Amino acid sequence: SGEAGGGGGGTYVWDSVLNDPLIIAGGGGGTGDQSQAGGNDDGKNASNETSGTADGSGGGAGGTNGTGGSSAGSGGAGAGWLTDGADGAASTGGHTPSNGGMGGDKVTDGGFGGGGADGDASTGSDSEGGGGGGGYSGGGASGSSSDAGGGGGGSLNNGTNQNNTIRADLGDGLVTITSLTATKSGLVSMVVDTTPFWTSTTNPYNVSLNEGESSSISWTVNATGDLNTTHDFFIYANMTSDQSINDATAHWNVTISNTTTQLAPTITIIYPTTNSFTSNTEFGINYTATSTTLDSCWYGYNGANTSLASCANISALTWSESAHTVTIYANDTTGNVGSSSVTFTIDTITPLISIAYPSNNTNSTNNALNVNYTYTETNLGSCWYSNDTMTSNTTLASCANISITWTDGQHNVTVWVNDSAANLNKSSVAFTIDTTVPNVTLETPAANYIDNSVGNVNLVFNCSVIDLINLANVSLYITNNLNTSFVLNQTTSLSGVTGSANWTLPLVNGNYTWNCFVEDFVGNSNWSINKTILINSTPDTDNDGIEDTTDPLLYNETNVTQSGITRLNITVGGNRTNETYTGKQEILFYDQNTLMINFSHNFSSKNLDLSNVTIIKDTNSIIVNLSGQLQGNKTLYITDNSFVTLCVKDAEVSSISEVSSGCDGDNETDFTSCLGGSLSASGINCTDLGTTIKIDNLQYSAIKGTVATPATTSSSSGGGGGSGGGGAGIIKKVLELIKEPECQSDAECSPDKTCYHNQCVKLFDVKVLDVDSPIGEDGLLGFTYFIKGMADINSDVIINFWLEKDNQTVSSGQDVVYLGSFEEKTEQTKIFIPQNLISGAYDFYVQVSFENYQALSHRTIFVEEKDGGKMSVELIESELRKPANLYSFLIGTLIITLLILIIIHRIILLPKSKAKKEVMRVFELRKQRRKKRKVRKHLKKNQAKEKRQKEKNKVAENIVKKKEDEGVVEIELETKADEKLRETKPEIKPEIKIGLPLKDLISSKNEVQKSNEKDKIITDEEIIEKNIDILEKYGFSANKTKLMPVKEKVAKQEPVKITREQTTNKTIDRTIENNIKALEAHGFKVVGIIKEKKKPKNSVTISSS
């Protein structure tokens, strides 16, 4: 009856260290027969086990497990920490808000409050009790009656109920118990004599005790509450077994005093952060010190303290390479000291990193290769690598190696490493992956190719190749002519993704199999399909295009065995050596433009093999051997090197040392008297032509001259000899001033020249002459080039040729040419042109290489596709051919000589100078000596001539007298040159001008016997005919039909004329007197004699002697 009382207020307990609620308990519900104030007192902080036992009592508060009232009209249990609220007894408990509702099941609904009791109709209590107070915030719900009171508010809002009505007398506030370290936590009650309870997570403290045992349990709590007020702290012991022992409760008084404890200053270090790394060696330390009574600040480092005026930051210091710990201190006016420390590390050393595999610029076919690297760093930070384009990075966990699958192509990988101080280093590697094999195609010659040409076969082989990335080389493999032994022939280096190679091979007759092998730069390789060829050519030993069976002249200048010759040139009838000849032809051998040898050869009778010719030339000698091929006598020329003696040995010799020093050996004739004039001796004619000496009518040839040994020049000024030496010395010094060599070695010349005779000259001249158009169906472009050697090459030279477009090689090839001494050749060969070639201008190069020297020719060609798909080629750039450097050398020498003469002339013109007198005196002495020597030679020459004539006349008289009784057949020996001369000068009688080698002379039957059957009788007629045959062999012709037996007397017989065809008016072979004597001994006689006289040219020689 009366106004129902409201429920008690709840309690909220919070752990400030764990930041977690420990206890949230609602108050118990009010009973129907209590006033509001009474309900408040009874229900405040009710135990979770408390519940009304009489009719109309309030329900239990929500604790761990709240229980409802057990009798009629009891209130329902409040919502517990772990369970929902429960209704009261059946049909009587307050189980709905309209009947004094139970405590809310949420903290916002008056959570954990006990339900209010419902009045019982049988007892006349029809008023409902109020709901229990909320443990956290809201109050309990009010009863259904208008006068039912609401539950007390929770502790958080200090007793504010759910209807926001402030009830200052209901809520009892907040108490916080903080557990420290590993202590237990309890609950401080706000009401004296109430029973405390435990939290569900950390309490109770469980212990098993036997009779007489004890246990000491410690709690540490921080209590906050009303200041200067005494509070109770309760300890509750709950017996869980042996119920004969009662539960026990103890409590202490806790007073929270109104005394404030002064805290030490708080220091916060802003920079650097603790355990940080940096490469900066100079910086300060920034911090803040907080205190209401801050007094001073200082810092400790390396065992020393340093004051900080006005508690300023630590100014910039220089830190060493290591770890550092700095502690900053601050105190207040009461002496409290606060501190804070920071540890940091200075690291300025860059990490070391090196890529161990693969090596830089490695080429590999392994697309799964690992990039392995090593690093050295104490404070390692991280590792990563960048891709080829440096646009993205990939982190390497734990700084492991790079292990991925690479695509074909070039890769540029950079691996990075840093340390904790942000020091950074890197290492890079470039490598190429190529897993694709190249492709090779055999272009020319075609499969089953047959060659039936004349002469040596130089076959061009061409292969084209393609690769995905970069080619390395292509090689030609070919069998021998028996189609066995398949071996490597040549290898050509290539680059780029496409290319081709040409090889020109000299092949003998036979069957061949060939193929090409290609490799790319990483080692991938491939073959094409084998092709076969058949060579069935007609022999041409010297490769001049003429079959050996019809070739009268074998080989050319390059096949002559030669020594001391600058450049050998040979003409046959005024033509070159690569033509066909018949009949008699005059053959001339030149050293450059200087004539050395002259003889005639009848190509209708016998071939001439130049490989059997040997010429050994020196400054003072010359040897010429034709190995028995000479049909007539020959003429030799030697440069007069101021000879004082001259010796001719008409015998086959291999070295000039075989000529005796005294010119008194076998077959040797002293021609010293010929110097400065002319002389005929032993059938050999000598003529001094000034700078050259001509020796004709030689069958063999060895000519040796000697020069005077230079006299020692005196440096004294006394005596005539001394004066002469002084004049020579002046001239010598003039020459030394002018003659300064341009070079001593190739290094002193430009790259396109070589050092030759102390002059920088061009060693080769090469020129592209013409190209064939259109290109053949086999894809080969024929072209003609000219090559000229400027020295004694006498070896093979390599001819490389290639076609370029925008500095990229389109096609290339190679040729090998043999060059002799100063030889020039015009050659033809072919280069392969790809079918897919685009029309336009291309650069065409021909390069000749010999040892370290190269010469290059360049032409621009225009390639255009014509109607019908054929490609035409046209030269659109002419090439200016530079004059030979040897020509420049000769011009330079001539200029130097003129300068010397001008200087000498100036010396002579110096008036009244000692130099002029000395030079003039030297010239006068030389003039007198030459005059005396000329007179002595003339006298000696006339005496020898008279002596030879007397001996000849005597022999002829004896022969004629001996044959008068036997009868003779006359023979007239003359030449057409003699006939022509008599037309203009009939008073001059003819002279025979024929010559035979000594070994061919037949003068007796014994000599004929040696070349015939031993038992055969040799007649005089046979000896005569043999001599006539020999004459014909060397260019003469005889009318044998007019020959008569020797012993047959004929009074008037017409002379038999033996004539010699002369194709030119140059020198003819000398007469060998032994041959004439052999004919005269058998009844022939000389009709007349013609003597061709030439006056020697005057010459002046100036030398230091």
* DSSP letters spanning 737-784: HH---S-SSGGGS-TT-EEETTEEE-SEEEEEEEE-SS--TTSEEEEE
d(CA 135, CA 103) in angstroms, rounded, equals 10
70-78 mean pLDDT: 45
Q: What angle do CA 937, 942, 943 make, to 5 degrees?
A: 100
Q: pLDDT: is 46 or 1027 the higher one?
A: 1027
Domain boundary among 173, 194, 216: 173
449-469 mean pLDDT: 90
**pLDDT > 70 in the chain, percent:** 55
Answer whether residue 914 is part of any domain.
Answer: no
Residue type, 859: R
Residue 326 neighbours by CB under 8 Å, 6+ apart: 285, 299, 300, 301, 314, 341, 342
Residue pLDDT, tens place only, 323-332? 999 999 999 9
Using DSSP, state whether 1031 is helix, strand or coil: helix
Does one domain contain both 62 and 166? Answer: yes
Tokens of 752: 């396109």
Using DSSP, state whether 586 is helix, strand or coil: strand
Does one domain contain both 526 and 481? Answer: yes
Residue pLDDT, tens place only, 953-981? 665 555 444 444 443 333 444 434 444 44
Answer whether residue 525 is part of any domain.
Answer: yes
Does one domain contain both 75 and 147? Answer: yes
The pLDDT value given to residue 710 = 53
The most confident of the ranges 196-205, 335-344, 866-875 is: 335-344
Does one domain contain both 678 and 813? Answer: no
> Quick check: 522 and 434 in contact, CB under 8 A?
yes
Tokens of 557: 């200048």
- Closest to 159 (Cα-Cα) out of 4, 283, 44: 44
Does one domain contain both 21 and 152? Answer: yes
Does one domain contain both 15 and 38? Answer: yes
Strand 229-237, strand 248-256: pairing: antiparallel
Q: pLDDT: is 553 or 253 the higher one?
A: 553
**Per the structure, how many domains does the chain have?**
8
Domain boundary among 399, 433, 467: 433
Does one domain contain both 122 and 184? Answer: no
- Closest to 614 (Cα-Cα) out of 553, 661, 552, 564: 564
Q: Which helix (H) or strand (E) holds 186?
A: none
381 strand-pairing partners: none
Residue pLDDT, tens place only, 769-779? 888 888 877 78
Does one domain contain both 149 and 111? Answer: yes
pLDDT-based confidence at residue 339 (cuts at 50, 70, 90): very high
pLDDT-based confidence at residue 8 (cuts at 50, 70, 90): low
Q: The domain that contains 521 carries what CATH number?
A: 2.60.40.2550
**Distance of alpha carbon 247 from its chain centroid, rounded?**
99
d(CA 778, CA 1019) in angstroms, rounded, equals 70
Q: pLDDT: is 364 or 206 the higher one?
A: 364
Residue 242 neighbours by CB under 8 Å, 6+ apart: none
Given a cut of 70, is residue 600 above it in pLDDT? yes
Given a cut of 90, is residue 120 above it in pLDDT? no
Answer whether residue 929 is part of any domain.
Answer: no
The pLDDT value given to residue 449 = 94
- Closest to 149 (Cα-Cα) out of 47, 43, 55, 69: 43
Domain boundary among 411, 433, 455: 433
The pLDDT value given to residue 510 = 92
> Quick check: 386 and 414 in contact, CB under 8 A?
yes
Does one domain contain both 523 and 582? Answer: no
Residues of the domain holding 26: 1-173
Q: The domain that contains 803 carries what CATH number?
A: 2.60.40.10
**pTM score > 0.95 for this model?**
no
- Closest to 1075 (Cα-Cα) out of 669, 694, 632: 632
Answer whether residue 213 is part of any domain.
Answer: yes
920-936 mean pLDDT: 71
Given a cut of 70, is residue 901 above it in pLDDT? yes
CB-based contacts of 402-406 (< 8 A; 24+ apart in sequence): 402/370, 402/371, 402/373, 403/370, 405/367, 405/368, 406/367, 406/368, 406/369, 406/433
> Quick check: 605 and 631 in contact, CB under 8 A?
yes
CB-based contacts of 553-556 (< 8 A; 24+ apart in sequence): 553/577, 553/579, 553/581, 553/603, 553/607, 553/608, 553/610, 554/607, 554/608, 554/609, 554/610, 554/611, 555/609, 555/610, 555/611, 556/610, 556/820, 556/823
pLDDT-based confidence at residue 1034 (cuts at 50, 70, 90): very low
Tokens of 832: 């392969």
- Closest to 624 (Cα-Cα) out of 668, 565, 540, 545: 565
**Rounded (10°) angle between helices 719-738 and 885-909:** 140
Given a cut of 60, is residue 989 above it in pLDDT? no
DSSP-derived letter for residue 283 is: E
Answer whether residue 241 is part of any domain.
Answer: yes
Does one domain contain both 159 and 39? Answer: yes
Does one domain contain both 503 and 565? Answer: no
Does one domain contain both 588 and 690? Answer: yes
Answer whether residue 471 is part of any domain.
Answer: yes
The pLDDT value given to residue 205 = 63
580-609 mean pLDDT: 89
- Closest to 481 (Cα-Cα) out of 548, 533, 540, 542: 533
Region label for 682, one of left (φ > 0), alpha (ψ between -120 and 50) or beta (otherwise): left
**pLDDT > 90 in the chain, percent:** 26
d(CA 367, CA 369) in angstroms, rounded, equals 6
Using DSSP, state whether 716 is helix, strand or coil: coil
Answer whether residue 894 is part of any domain.
Answer: no
Answer whether residue 988 is part of any domain.
Answer: yes
